[in-house]
Amino acid sequence: MTRKTILPLLALAALLSASATAQNTTDNMETLELTREWDKTFPQSERVEHTKITFHNRYGITLAADLYKPKEAAGPLAAIVVCGPYGAVKEQVSGLYAQTLAERGFLTIAFDPSFYGESSGQPRYLTSPEISTDDFSAAVDYLSTREDVDPQRIGIIGVCGWGGFALNAAANDPRIRATITSTMYDMSRVNARGYFDAMSADDRYHLREELNRLRGEAYRTGVVPRDGGVVDPVPADAPLFVRQYHDYYKTARGYHRRSPNSNEGLLKTNSLAFINMPILTYIDEIRTPVLVIHGAEAHSRYFSEDAFKRLTGDNKELLIIPGACHVDLYDNLEVIPFDRMEEFLHRAFDNADAR
């Protein structure tokens, strides 16, 4: 066999191997048993079709999502991906956002992040700077395959901690044509520096000591402790924002049986990765439109304002809602600026079409 014969055969073998690998990625997607009942914290809209879907990320994790589509919609639609808050599930805030925007003409999905809710991933109740960010791009992968979605008009919305992941995803994935953050947390900053940047380098060192003690203990015992979720009952000296979290997650207003925040929380050792991996490093390179929304009375307002200062270009907007606290932007339909969000998304997609 000549060298000229061998090279095409090697190329063909590589092509077949790549094809098989790509096929295996899809074939290995885990089959999830999804709840078929309407178990959201908000009423179902009669103007929207609701279906349960799954898709997978680059790490082989199968993600569970609710898809909302305006009834009698025609033609490829603009699509919006929603996730958050940190420690919440799709039956809570993200689902409300997704359904409301579907009523306004968008095809939307609200997904459970990797490792909790109805999504797969081991260990359970983990969060990761990389994987939590990649979940947004995985949703874009999925939407881009649908015939009823215009792949040139896909945007994302991140609420609370997933607002930071949304900015990180937008910096890394130019397919995301518009980004909205609502009542955003920078999870790297709050884990590394504490609230209002009150932690010192010594505080951080002692935190690392404790977290690595916990991970060593978990390796020996096989048990990783969880952070307990939202505190209940609320201590008498608790800050106002802790009471506000309790009012959402621990009452009929927002409680959900699969929500980590409503129950035993996420893994205590999650903080380790965030301390050393700042997720907002490259947000100044986001070229697509960004709308940053926060409540004027929110304890977390500084996360959005500081991130906004780092955004560049004339297609970035900051919207501060007078009188609103952090959790008002979870479910208060009198406060969440859906009109402004809809206008922003249409304008962002129209400008993208013009380019």
- Domains delineated in the chain: 48-186+279-354 (3.40.50.1820)
Residue 283 CA to residue 65 CA, distance in Å, equals 27
- What local confidence, expressed as pLDDT, does residue 353 receive? 63
- What local confidence, expressed as pLDDT, does residue 14 receive? 47
- What local confidence, expressed as pLDDT, does residue 254 receive? 98
Residue 182 CA to residue 304 CA, distance in Å, equals 9
Residue 279 CB-density burial (10 A; 0-12 exposed, 13-18 middle, 19+ buried): buried
Phi, psi at residue 191, to the nearest 5°?
A: -75, -35
Residue 68 CA to residue 82 CA, distance in Å, equals 11
- What local confidence, expressed as pLDDT, does residue 1 receive? 53
Residue 60 CA to residue 121 CA, distance in Å, equals 8
DSSP 16-55: HHHHHHHHHHHHTPPPP----S---SSPPPTTEEEEEEEE
Residue pair 243/234 in contact by the 8 Å Cβ criterion: yes
Give mean pLDDT in consecutive 10-residue pieces for the chain, a chain of 355 residues: 48 45 54 93 98 97 98 94 98 98 98 98 97 98 98 98 98 98 98 97 98 96 95 96 98 98 97 96 98 98 98 98 98 98 97 68
- What local confidence, expressed as pLDDT, does residue 92 receive? 98
Residue 292 CA to residue 319 CA, distance in Å, equals 6
- What local confidence, expressed as pLDDT, does residue 120 receive? 98
- What local confidence, expressed as pLDDT, does residue 12 receive? 45
Residue 54 CA to residue 57 CA, distance in Å, equals 10
Instruction: Give the position of tokens 């009952």.
Output: 233
